[in-house]
Structure 1
Amino acid sequence: MKTIIQVLLTIAIIVLGYFCVESINKPVRFKKEYQQRSEKVIERLKDIRSAQVAFKAVNGRYTSSFDTLSTFIANDSLPMVKMEGSLTDSMIAAGMNELMALRKGIIRRDTSRISVMDSLFSQKPWMPDSIGIVPFTNNAKFEMGVGVIETASGVNVMVFEAKVHNNVYLNGLDRQEVININDKQRKMERYPGLKVGSLEEANNNAGNWE
């Protein structure tokens, strides 16, 4: 009987020790995974921002369609200006500026075109049609919209926004931890997720992590 009690006590101590260690390791694992996922999602949002800025430079507007954006990345190009020649110190001292040098042929500007993919995403391992896919999900897509807002000075500004809720890209992680993050961000009056740009204010396409 004494032996059985000792065995049961040993098992109870082992189980209790496991739960104590797990209570410490569980939030540590969550934090690590949360940071890894956030970094990848932020990287993708930065790619969306770069593509949108380039799209606007070529087309004069943003797009709310990831299909349009991926086609632009895969097939379109950006102008690249190459300048040959330069102003010498004596030319500058004589009052010559770049425009005057261009007219005199001292400086030349040649415009060529380079593909969007090579210009912006040559080091990226993903295909253009995956730019709208949220990492760590089963092909879930970012929410994206475009609009025009009036600034305090009365100027109309084109804006775009791309975002993903915490519940989407943190799916599969500890549910209570995700709920806690959402609650904390809501109390701070922040979007409970990651986003770039804004449809409510002209924020120069900033990300809410910046």
Structure 2
Amino acid sequence: MNTTISSDNNEQTQIQNNRIGTAGLVLVLMSFILFSFEGYIINSLNDKSLFFTLILPVLIGNLWLLGLIFSIIGLRINPKGRAIAGLIISLLPILFAAISTMSPQISTPIHFENELKERKAQVIERIKDVRTAQRAFRAEYQRYAEDFDELERFLHANPTELRCDIEQLRYIPNSDNEFILETGFTKTSSNRTGPFIEVRAPYKLFLDTIKYQQEIINLIDEEVNVSDRYPGIKFGSTDEADNDIGNWE
């Protein structure tokens, strides 16, 4: 009988002794409730008075910090349940902040790779039309059109099967920029003179250089310095006649 009474007294003493852990949990919960209340007032009622924009945030921060401190201290006292709960809840804002900080670093490269793949496919489809049109022009005149104006006039007079409208042929998809077009004549491998063509669409002309600035810098550096490739989509070469091979092929 005395043993039972003594055990009950020890349990009650332990609960009373860990009031600091309980206080930590209560303070943390109060800070979350006040934070939700502050957000409701500012967003729903549009109340931006000094109390809600300055005083209340300081109060919420102090309650959260005290709750965190009391919960940590309460871990040294039995029972630890409420102290552990207070500590976990108080660490949630830190966890959410860390996730928010890390999320763009994880998601941005994935989004960039998806956008790069999609836009490259669109540019390749359009530049293939340019090549088809230039091949038709060459079959007629034994040279390539010097510019898109000349090429468009030819296409209007000589209908050619294209995927896009003739007026859109000169433009790089997802931009207002035109393809870079160079044509002329040069020596062939057999020392004859032949027509050459090179049509280019640099990455920086059809990718989002603001949103993905660093990713594009890294991509161009890898293409040029590591893979020794043109940083973009192109076909043909200013150094070789009778060559209209695309760098995607």
Q: TM-score, normalized by length of structure 1?
A: 0.72
Provide the rounded CA distance (Å) in 2 between the counterparts of 1:192 and 1:30. Answer: 16
Who is 2:188 aligned against?
A: 151
Distance 1:8 1:151 in 2: 74
Q: What SS is found at the alignment partner of 1:209?
A: coil
Is 2:246 aligned against 1:207? yes
- The alignment's C-alpha RMSD in Å is 1.8
Gap runs ≥5 in structure 1: 77-114
Q: For 1:13-162, list aligned pairs within 5 A.
A: 13-76=95-158, 115-116=159-160, 120-121=161-162, 124=163, 126-137=164-175, 139-162=176-199
Name the TM-score, length of structure 2 as normaliser.
0.62
Pick from 165, 180, 200: which aligns with 1:163? 200
Q: Which amino acid aligns with 2:95?
A: I
* Alignment partner of 1:186 out of 206, 224, 228: 224
Deviation at 1:203, TM superposition (A): 6.1
1:111-134 CA distance string (max 9 Å, x none): xxxx32xxx22xx3x320110101
2:235 matched to 1:196?
yes
Structure with bigger RCO (C-alpha 8 Å, 6+ apart):
1
Query: Which contiguous aligned blocks of 4+ residues in structure 1 show a shift greater than 4 angstroms?
Result: none
> Which residue is equivalent to 1:99?
none
Q: Which has the higher strand share?
A: 1
Residue of structure 2 equivalent to 1:109: none
**Gap change, CA 1:205 and 1:71, over 3 Å in 2:** same
Q: Which residue identity lines up with residue 186 of structure 2 in the other structure?
A: I
Distance 1:36 1:203, change over 3 A: farther
Total equivalences in the alignment: 165
* Greater helix proportion: 2
Report the secondary structure of 1:136's partner residue: coil
